[in-house]
Amino acid sequence: MDGSFALNSVAAQDDFGFRGVHVSTVATQALTTAYYNGPAIAHRYFNGCSDGGREAMVEAEVYPDDFDGIIAGDPALGDLIAGFNWNDQVLFKTPHSWLPPQKLTTLDAAVMANCDAADGQVDNLIQDPRKCTFDPASLLCPKGESEVEAFNDPSCLTRQQVAAVRAIYQGPVTNTGVQTYPGFTQSDPAPGTSGDGWNAWITGDFTPALPKPADGEPWGQPPASFATAPAQWSFGDQFLKFFVFSDPDYDSFKFNINNPTNLKPFQKAVRLGGGDGVNPDLTPFLLTNHAKLIMYHGWSDPALTPLETVKYYQTMVSETFAGDQSTAAGSARLFMVPGMHHCGGGPGPQINFFQWIFELDGWVAFGIAPDSIVATSATRTMPLCAYPETAHYVSGPIDSASSWKCE
């Protein structure tokens, strides 16, 4: 999480943003060819998740000749740091805005009760959280409680916490109505058995200094804070300090998306060399080189909103394939994973990291495109469908993939 390597180093920022994977790829493919005495490499694949997913998309967009097939999981696309900072700002707007982990469990249960049946089946799995109509105001603490009592009551939310949750769902929007990064989905915010819900990424497991301290470091000074702060805080704070403003003492709470002197250097740093990974024109990679792309994202990702990946895929279909979804599916497919947190974890059935390579190899080497992929958990199996299709229950045991179909 330490971003100090980038301080005043254009080369280091270039390597992290867009160049490092490419030059490493050129070198390792040359080494591989030399080691095996020269036969041509049959197929070259890239498989990455999170920032690795962003690296995957940068490879496809900026260096389309590096790989024959690419897997981009839960990719860190676009202005995600603006989304991180937005969440930080709303959680520290007042001393009673931050959410402790116990309240995430209450929020999670209320969301599940409201949204589970939206897909037609009550099975403790939210297939598509975009269908949720949950209002966090339904958890507002009783009027008789003081603000301190309400803050310490794990069964309800303070009015400030209600506002914070709504803002996290909404995502950062400028005063002129420009959405700089989509909000986060409602499904599965609690830590659960995997421990990696909103607590790990957005809100934190450890109580910060409330109200926020004068030095702008509510979990203490880095690098010690990396062990206690939520990951969004650490990543966002480090990026602003070392990539954007070149100031180790920069106070992230002062960042303002409505201030051009803040926004312009931020966007320059994020988009350096195409490092934001959102160029929707994949013509060289998919159409000229006939390569294949598999994208996937957990619908309950608390680290990087899945809505950004859906938006990118839709825009890519429009720009590269003139909006023809069926033609696009011959080259690029997106699989949304219900109940999955960031690159794994969460309550939903999932795909093994290496299973994605098996699916990609079948497509590239043998022309077998993955129409659906069976995800598994300890208690059920479920088909993951190529977007925009989703799984619909037909008949039989609800916890069996054979009882569902993609349509």
Distance in Å from the first CA to the final CA of the chain: 41
| pLDDT of 341 higher than 80 | yes
Indicate the burial class of 244 (C-beta count within 10 angstroms; 0-12, 13-18, 19 or more): buried
Pairing of strands 69-73, 45-49: parallel
Give Cβ neighbours of residue 234 (< 8 Å, ≥ 6 apart): 1, 222, 225, 226
Residue position matching structure tokens 């969301």 = 111
pLDDT tens digits, residue range 261-300?
Answer: 999 999 999 999 999 999 999 999 999 999 999 999 999 9
Taking residues 18-28, report their average pLDDT: 97
Contact 71, 356 (CB under 8 A): yes
Amino acid 107 reads L
pLDDT tens for each residue of 44-99? 999 999 999 999 999 999 999 999 999 999 999 999 999 999 999 999 999 999 99
Average pLDDT over residues 225-249: 98
Q: What is the pLDDT of residue 195?
A: 86
What does the chain come to in residues?
A: 407
| Averaged pLDDT for residues 301-326 | 98
pLDDT of residue 317: 98
pLDDT, averaged across the chain: 96
Q: What confidence score (pLDDT) does residue 40 get? A: 83
pLDDT for the residue 353: 86
pLDDT beyond 80 at 259: yes
Using one digit for the tens of pLDDT, what is the confidence trace for 347-371? Answer: 999 998 899 999 999 999 999 999 9
**Nearest alpha-carbon partner for 316 in 327, 306, 305, 302:** 327
Which pLDDT score is estimated for 194? 80
H or E stretch covering 365? helix 355-366
Give Cβ neighbours of residue 18 (< 8 Å, ≥ 6 apart). Answer: 58, 62, 272, 273, 274, 275
Please provide the DSSP assignment of 135-146 as one string.
-GGGGBPPTTS-
CA 4 from chain center: how many Å? 23
Query: pLDDT band for position 193 (50/70/90)?
Result: confident
Q: Which residue has the tokens 């490493």?
A: 24
In the prediction, which pLDDT does 127 show? 95
In this predicted structure, the answer to whether residue 39 has a pLDDT above a threshold of 90 is: no
> Residue 38: is its pLDDT beyond 80?
no
CA angle, 186 as apex, 197 and 270 as ends, to 5°? 70
* Residue 144 tokens, joined: 């008789």
d(CA 370, CA 386) in angstroms, rounded, equals 8
Alpha-helical runs (H) found in 63-158: 80-91, 101-115, 147-152
Q: What is the rounded CA–CA span in Å between residue 365 and residue 359?
A: 10
Confidence check: pLDDT of 203 > 90 = yes
